[in-house]
Amino acid sequence: KGSTLVLGIETSCDETSAAVVENGEILRSNVISSQMEVHRKFGGVVPEVASRRHVERITDVIQQALDQAGVKQSELSALAVTQGPGLVGALLIGVAAAKAMAFAAGLPLVGVHHIAGHIYASHLVKPLRFPLVALVVSGGHTELIYMPGHNRFERLGKTRDDAAGEAFDKVARVLELPYPGGPEIDRLAREGRPSIDLPRAWLEPDSLDFSFSGLKSAVINHLHNAKQRGTTVQRADLAASFQESVVEVLTEKSIRAVKSKGVDHLVLAGGVSANSALRSALSERCRKEGIRLSVPPIELCTDNAAMIAAAGTFRYLDREFAGLDMNAEPNLKL
């Protein structure tokens, strides 16, 4: 036999996903059932609706992941499931499914931190090279993580208020763009120029933390003032200006984190890494600074179970097993 086959399960937000990964790096299958259309009419993810959808889809999605990989349940080495953070009701569905399957099939079980998963998305493309720094930017997170080796995480910075993706989504909403707003702003920004002066939250000189709520308020104020004065707002310019502010802070702090740790590998992860301005700003800076940058393809940037299976493989190899008493942890620490 020899190879390690891990089935991953991810249900932390609005994607029901299951995947099979071999040896932590070979993607055998990655089935993603998105609920985006369901939540779009509410302008955001509705937790109750998400949980119900996960229940309806999970069994099927797991079976498809096994079928597409051509792997039988009995051939699996372990099960890996997102334990947190995320929406508690959504997480519970994945955790319950994983526990039931682990019990029925007598398989080892590991709980995976969602952020660890996002970082390991890169490992499915090209092996991670340690030590490294990862910038994880999604709808729920904005974090800088240092990894000295597999399955070792040290947080260098985090957002103090909104996550980067959340800021994109909220600003999109005030610009009357559909949900999720990130891709919409990305598109609209290309038609505009970053001509509007908006703040950058650098925080304390050495801080690797982030803050985006002030920027969001500045966008809202700009719209409000224009309305009061009866002037028209160039929405594309406002989108471009907002995006530039986010990208500049994310890029600068990532480079600072890389330098402060003396590493030469930066990994970009999470849904916001799909942002075209962020990708080009980071790749240009990294090229200038001689830093190796890993950016996974977009389908691995957003939530998926393959990244959970990959991260879970290294927890499994470190024998960090979970018991059948494992619970979903909406505020799980890395």
Is residue 151 a contact partner of residue 159, using CB atoms and an 8 Å limit? Answer: no
Interface residue with ligand KG4 among 22, 143, 186, 244 (CB under 6 A) is 186
**Residue whose C-beta lies closest to Zn ion:** 138
- How does DSSP assign 172-221, residue by residue? HHHTTPPSSHHHHHHHHHTTS---S-------STT---B--HHHHHHHHH
The residue behind tokens 């933390």 is: 209
137 annotated to bind ligand: yes
Q: Pick from 331, 333, 329, 334: which is nearest to 94 by CA?
A: 329
Site for Zn ion in 291-310 (CB under 5 A): 303
Q: What angle do CA 116, 121, 251 make, to 5 degrees?
A: 80
Nearest-approach distance from CB 72 to Zn ion, in angstroms: 29
Assess 169 for contact with Zn ion (CB under 5 A).
no
* Residue 326: Cβ within 10 Å count: 18
**Binding pattern to Zn ion, positions 96-135, x when CB under 5 A?**
----------------------------------------
The stretch among 3-11, 134-142, 148-156, 253-261 that binds ligand KG4 (CB under 6 A) is 134-142
Applying CB under 6 A, the site for ligand KG4 has a residue count of 19
CA dihedral 70→73→76→79, nearest 10 degrees, is 120
Q: Which residues contact 260 (CB under 8 A, 6 or more apart)?
A: 156, 208
Nearest-approach distance from CB 271 to ligand KG4, in angstroms: 2
Interface residue with Zn ion among 138, 211, 241, 243 (CB under 5 A) is 138
186 binds, among ligand KG4, Zn ion, none (CB under 5 to 8 A by kind): ligand KG4
Assess 272 for contact with ligand KG4 (CB under 6 A).
yes
Nearest-approach distance from CB 88 to ligand KG4, in angstroms: 15
β partners of residue 21: 6, 27
Q: Name the residues that contact Zn ion, by CB under 5 A.
A: 138, 303
Q: Name the residues that contact ligand KG4, by CB under 6 A.
A: 13, 138-140, 165, 168-169, 180-183, 186, 270-272, 274-275, 302-303
Q: Which residues are annotated as a binding site for substrate?
A: 136-140, 169, 182, 186, 275
